[in-house]
Amino acid sequence: MIEKIKVFIDTNIPIYAAGQEHPNKILSIKVLEQVSDGKIIGVTSTEVLQEILYRYQAINLLKKGLEVFDNFLQIIDDVLSINLQIINEARNLLAKNFNQNIFPRDAIHVATMSYYGINYIATHDKHFRLFKHIKYISL
């Protein structure tokens, strides 16, 4: 029996899937369909959920953001908690990669993946390639 891979689903996947026509929309929908169909184990974090709410609030579309949040929670297999150890590791990643222009929220995602032993990510952000232990699922 082939073991399903566990994939960290980044914020941009549900946002593009729910958004207007864009080159990333179809690919994002396909990732969420793979999770929904049980082909991959889709996990995310409380930080990703916060980012969804924050983004939609920032563009005055909170009602839409609440819908995206709720729909994403129905599809995802697990939501990982963020703790002090993860935040400290994110801080260390930022310090170590000071000149790489990594956003704090993405450092939190990398630290979360490391903490929970997840090696695969579904995202449209290319800068995760700086971290050699992270593999992209093909989008």
Q: Does residue 41 carry a pLDDT above 90?
A: yes
Task: Please state, in angstroms and rounded to a whole number, the distance separating the CA atoms of residues 118 and 43.
Answer: 9
Task: Please state, in angstroms and rounded to a whole number, the distance separating the CA atoms of residues 131 and 37.
Answer: 29
Task: Please state, in angstroms and rounded to a whole number, the distance separating the CA atoms of residues 81 and 120.
Answer: 18
* CATH ID of 10-136, from 3.40.50.1010, 2.60.120.1440, 3.40.190.10, 3.30.2290.10: 3.40.50.1010
**Mean pLDDT, residues 112-137:** 92
The whole-angstrom distance between residue 112's C-alpha and the CA centroid of its chain comes to 10
Q: Is the pTM of this model over 0.95?
A: no
pLDDT tens, 69-87? 999 999 999 999 999 999 9
pLDDT tens, 1-24? 567 899 999 999 999 999 999 999
Task: Please state, in angstroms and rounded to a whole number, the distance separating the CA atoms of residues 133 and 81.
Answer: 21
pLDDT at 139: 57
Q: Give the SS3 label for residue 78.
A: strand
- Contact predicate 42/35, CB 8 Å: yes
Q: Does residue 44 carry a pLDDT above 90?
A: yes
